[in-house]
Amino acid sequence: MGFSSSRVGTSPRAISIRLLAIAAVVVTSLLTAATAGASGPCGDSPWCDSSLSPAKRASLLLSAMTPEQRIGLLAGDHAALAGADGTHTGAADGIPALGVPDFFQTDGPMGVRQGKATSMPSEMSLASSFDRNLARSYGALVGNEAKLKGNDLVYAPTVNILRTPLWGRAFESMGEDPFLTSSLAVDYIRGMQSEGVIANVKHFAVNNQEGNAQGGSRFSVSAQVDDRTLREIYLPAFEAAVKRGDVGSVMCSYNKINGVHGCENPTLLTQILREEWGFKGLVLADYGASKHIDTGLRAGLDYEPFPFVDFDGGENLTPAQVTAALQAGRINQGDIDTAVRHQLETLFRFGFFDRTPFVDDPSRINNGAHQKRARRAAEQGTVLLQNDGVLPLNSKRLGSLAVIGADATRYVNGGGSSDIDPIEFTSVLGGIQARAGKGVDVSFDPGNDLEQAAQAARGADAAVVVIADASSEGSDKPCLGIDCGAEPIDGMTIQRDALVEQVAAANPNTIVLLETAGPVLTPWRDQVAAVVEGWYPGGAAGSALARVLFGDVDPGGRLPATFPDTEAQLPTSGNPSSYPGVDNVADYSEGVLVGYRWFDKKGLKPAYPFGHGLSYSRFAFRGLKVRPDRRGAGARVSLKVANVGDRKGIAVPQLYVKMPGTAKRVQPPRQLKAFKSVKLKPGASRLVRFHLGSRAFSYWSDRRSGWDVAKGCYRIEVGKSSRSLGRGAKLAWSSASGEMRRGCGS
């Protein structure tokens, strides 16, 4: 597992290895520079000619390498997985004789897991912003800190789809929709790579559960998934990362996909990734995910950062094991060279040889500016789920405010390899106290004694109950209630649902502030005045959430995942063969009906639907125009978004397409195909345009083994959530003329 402190490399030895490594790099660079005159850090070897293509340079360098040197590049040499300062999650020694620098990697995605770092709100929060610009600046911030901590590659972003909200890594996902995840992942990657570090999209593929006491461990479960579901739900974000994000690397996953492990799956790693999508980068294995040297290399695995562990007795790409496999004829030199070539080509492409090595010097990080960006991101990701008018709080009129719940005092984040140690942390309680000012009497009660908490709430003008869940990589939640899997806080056990009910009964102005990984059950929602979802808000939790509560900023978030009314509504509920699986096989029998697609198809009423989120202002969406795009199966859509309220606010128009289905090809009633986050002053309006390419109207055809546009009628709807949509417009696809037409006839 990517987070156990037992796999520590933070010992003085590890740190001195790191220092030696830096010294070696510096000495090598100096030597190379000395021999190379003014030719730059790479030197004057033939592969240092930056006018040559990365492929050519990789070939030249490869041919200068001994067989041992090539084998040496297949695996990392040091791992420091506890995340201490001065260490790296993964590290590979370079080849000083050839001017190959050391190669350092770190965990992400919500910050750099290497000593203290800016703790960004969770990826789930990022997804809630529905804001591609934010994704870009978020990725750039993490990339910048990774670089200034001496890393060349970041294991981020995570783009696996939230199939069940029980997933232990729900917070690390961008929710249940492939289009939203794809769009934000592309910008995250572009932002990160604009800093010169290599992004690493993970975990390829269909890695949607950690497992629970009933089984389904991520290390061994096989996701049994049909081609159409794979292509329409689980692969699009990886495809977009490659084709549009130009991602430099991919992490293959532990789990099996249709019986074959992610890191030895030729269909995924070679056929789809390289041959179909044109991936030119590096495929690396998750921690302990390499299984067999021969099948792995031949399937398309290039590099194993952590060859020190294996969870089921498999092989690693260590020099000794690879050499033995070569001698035994299980692999040949070509298998090794292909993998090394992929690595070198990627490194050349990212300028790794042409710059001085990034230096681990966190003093150069602009902490103040980064903390501000973390705060803004958390504000944009916060979702106002319901509000009877109690919010925003007005500090001039509020006499007293009771803050209830020990979660208000602690840093709430997800466990595992994306657990970031924040440079700065403001608690929710601290943030509220600071923002409320002297005029408001802010009291606090931890909430472990229900009577006492109700008493604290009773006299106050309003009460904010802060409740968080517990979620971690390595294990799924046992159930969806907010207390499922929770640990006591400072020895106190909090019964969160009961706490909300007690406080709500004592104070009509009760506001629930959730800090959860993903959707949870909200059985008390009809009893409270407002519900706010802050997710795992990162280091700026308190300041961000206080600013939202007091209306300094509009909550910008919309739900990237459905909040079910009951756990029984989930497609996987009560069906162990589907989740967590039986005999290590999880049958993805719901097919493409994941998340809101399932709720819509089955006519289920969720607690809060996908795309839902309120503003403090009001918006009108008017004048929807849908025109066929004459260049094939596409359409141009425009609408006017007007702020008709009296405050600044954020509108998020969302466009959904209903595709024609058949008895055999079930289609979800609607699928998100475009969105935009629009900030508007009161009275202001903006024309929002969307272009829908042919992919927005396509389904995966098993018969053709490719994307196809079905004959028939398409409905395009724009609205404020998947369940709040305007009248919409229709288009028909005529395969005979190869074009979209307005309307669908009678």
Q: Does 210 bind ligand BGC (CB under 6 A)?
A: no
CB of residue 104 vs ligand BGC: minimum separation in angstroms?
A: 13
Complete DSSP assignment for 197-264: PEEEEEEETT-----BTTB--TTT-EEE--HHHIIIIISHHHHHHHHTT--SEEEEPSSEETTEEGGG
Instruction: CB nearer to ligand BGC: give 195 or 286.
Output: 286
Binding test (CB under 6 A) with ligand BGC, winner from 45, 89, 209, 217:
89
Closest CA to 717 of 649, 680, 681, 668: 668
CB of residue 148 vs ligand BGC: minimum separation in angstroms?
A: 20
Q: Does 189 bind ligand BGC (CB under 6 A)?
A: no
Instruction: CB nearer to ligand BGC: give 47 or 287.
Output: 287
Q: 605: how many CB neighbours lie within 10 A of its CB? A: 10
Say how far apart CA 258 and CA 581 lie, in whole Å: 13
Instruction: CB nearer to ligand BGC: give 296 or 557.
Output: 296
Q: Of 286, 335, 407, 476, which one is the catalytic site residue?
A: 286
CB of residue 2 vs ligand BGC: minimum separation in angstroms?
A: 2
**Strand pairing category for 256-257 and 383-387:** unpaired
Instruction: CB nearer to ligand BGC: give 263 or 494.
Output: 263
CB of residue 107 vs ligand BGC: minimum separation in angstroms?
A: 5
Instruction: CB nearer to ligand BGC: give 287 or 700.
Output: 287
Closest CA to 61 of 72, 42, 47, 43: 47
Q: Does 88 bind ligand BGC (CB under 6 A)?
A: no
Complete DSSP assignment for 548-559: HHTTSS------
Instruction: CB nearer to ligand BGC: give 107 or 195.
Output: 107
CB of residue 81 vs ligand BGC: minimum separation in angstroms?
A: 5
Q: Which residue is nearest to ligand BGC (CB)?
A: 2
| Alpha helices for 516-620 (secondary structure H) | 541-549, 596-601
Closest CA to 138 of 361, 332, 374: 374
Q: Does 2 bind ligand BGC (CB under 6 A)?
A: yes
Instruction: CB nearer to ligand BGC: give 153 or 436.
Output: 153
Q: Which residue has the tokens 């260590």?
A: 318
- Chain mean position to CA 78: 26
Binding test (CB under 6 A) with ligand BGC, winner from 286, 419, 421, 600:
286
Q: Does 132 bind ligand BGC (CB under 6 A)?
A: no
* Neighbouring C-alpha atoms within 13 Å toward the C-beta of 43: 17
CB of residue 473 vs ligand BGC: minimum separation in angstroms?
A: 6
DSSP, collapsed to helix, strand or coil, labels residue 175 as: coil
Instruction: CB nearer to ligand BGC: give 14 or 692.
Output: 14
Instruction: CB nearer to ligand BGC: give 157 or 628.
Output: 157
CB of residue 253 vs ligand BGC: minimum separation in angstroms?
A: 8
Say how far apart CA 220 and CA 232 lie, in whole Å: 24
Instruction: CB nearer to ligand BGC: give 107 or 567.
Output: 107
Q: Tell which positions 470-509 bind ligand BGC, by CB under 6 A.
A: none
CB of residue 335 vs ligand BGC: minimum separation in angstroms?
A: 25
CB of residue 90 vs ligand BGC: minimum separation in angstroms?
A: 7
Q: For this structure, is 312 an active site residue?
A: no
Residues for the chain: how many in total?
746
Q: Which residues pair with 257 in a beta bridge?
A: 223, 260
Please check whether residue 519 is in contact with residue 484, taking contact to mean a CB–CB distance below 8 angstroms: no
Q: Tell which positions 626-655 bind ligand BGC, by CB under 6 A.
A: none
Q: Does 107 bind ligand BGC (CB under 6 A)?
A: yes
Say how far apart CA 459 and CA 725 lie, in whole Å: 41
Element containing residue 497 per DSSP (H, E): helix 496-506
Q: Which residues pair with 739 in a beta bridge?
A: 734
Q: Does 421 bind ligand BGC (CB under 6 A)?
A: no
Q: Does 202 bind ligand BGC (CB under 6 A)?
A: yes
Say how far apart CA 349 and CA 357 lie, in whole Å: 15
How many residues in the shown chain lie near ligand BGC by CB under 6 A?
A: 10
Please check whether residue 154 is in contact with residue 200, taking contact to mean a CB–CB distance below 8 angstroms: yes
Q: Tell which positions 5-24 bind ligand BGC, by CB under 6 A.
A: none
Q: Does 567 bind ligand BGC (CB under 6 A)?
A: no
What the block records as the tokens of 607 is 């607690």
Binding test (CB under 6 A) with ligand BGC, winner from 287, 350, 352, 690:
287
Please check whether residue 139 is in contact with residue 391, taking contact to mean a CB–CB distance below 8 angstroms: no
Instruction: CB nearer to ligand BGC: give 2 or 139.
Output: 2
DSSP, collapsed to helix, strand or coil, labels residue 371 as: helix
Instruction: CB nearer to ligand BGC: give 57 or 147.
Output: 147
CB of residue 477 vs ligand BGC: minimum separation in angstroms?
A: 17
What the block records as the tokens of 251 is 């992490």
Complete DSSP assignment for 420-488: -EESS---HHHHHHHHH-TTSEEEEE-SSSHHHHHHHHHTSSEEEEEEE---BTTB--SSSSTTTT---
Please check whether residue 597 is in contact with residue 535, taking contact to mean a CB–CB distance below 8 angstroms: no
- In what order do the strands lie in the sheet containing 256-257? 260-261, 256-257, 222-224, 585-587
CB of residue 261 vs ligand BGC: minimum separation in angstroms?
A: 14
Binding test (CB under 6 A) with ligand BGC, winner from 32, 417, 471, 507:
417
CB of residue 263 vs ligand BGC: minimum separation in angstroms?
A: 12
Closest CA to 239 of 196, 189, 194, 287: 189
Residues 6+ apart with CB under 8 A from 97: none
What the block records as the tokens of 334 is 């070509």
Q: Does 81 bind ligand BGC (CB under 6 A)?
A: yes
CB of residue 202 vs ligand BGC: minimum separation in angstroms?
A: 6
- Give a three-class secondary structure readout of 639-688: EEEEECCCCCEEECCEEEEECCCCCCCCCCCCEEEEECCEEECCCCEEEE
Instruction: CB nearer to ligand BGC: give 415 or 628.
Output: 415
Buried b (16+ CB within 10 A) or exposed e, 280-307: ebbbbbbbbbbbbbbbbbbbbbbbbbbb
Q: Does 155 bind ligand BGC (CB under 6 A)?
A: yes
Positions touching ligand BGC (CB under 6 A) are 1-2, 81, 89, 107, 155, 202, 286-287, 417
Residues involved in catalysis: 286
